Amino acid sequence: MSRTVILTRREVFSSSHRLYSDKLSLEENKNIYGKCINSHGHNYVLEVSVRGGVKEDIGMFMNITELKEILKEKVMDKLDHKDLEKDVPELKGIVTTTENLSIFIWDQLYPSLKEFLYEVKILETENNFVVYRGE
């Protein structure tokens, strides 16, 4: 009988962005996003969790190195040391909140991880984080 485990890989990436919606006036943007309408940066902590049954013959369901390589190709190379609005074409026109960033990362990873992808968690600061599970 295969037991189900959750495997998590943590990565850190640095990106700059600003919170601003073209659908709102300057005043509305200021009221909603405050000082974050100005360009600023974060050292994001990304935790990606995959879920699957442990294969008896190898003692795991996925090699962590495989997950690390997928994260590098699909996420880290696109986001690390980048301006999210200017350098990431897929994010143009999207307000780069941590919520939207977590959905973007899920969408980048899903084609490679499919049903194994369980959770994307992004810590924007020590105290603020978002969890997305594909719903």
Numbered residues of the known binding site for Zn(2+): 17, 40, 42
**Catalytic site residue 119?**
no
Q: Which residue out of 66, 81, 90, 115 is catalytically annotated?
A: 81
**Catalytic site residue 124?**
yes
Q: Which residue out of 11, 36, 47, 99 is catalytically annotated?
A: 36
Give the pair of three-digit tokens for residue 25.
């006036």
Chain mean position to CA 60: 24
**Catalytic site residue 36?**
yes
Check: CB of residue 130 under 8 Å from CB of residue 99: yes
Burial readout 12-36 (b: 16 or more C-beta within 10 A, e: otherwise): ebebbbbbbeeeeeeeebeeebeee
In the annotated binding site, the residues are 17, 40, 42
Which residues are marked as active site?
36, 81, 124
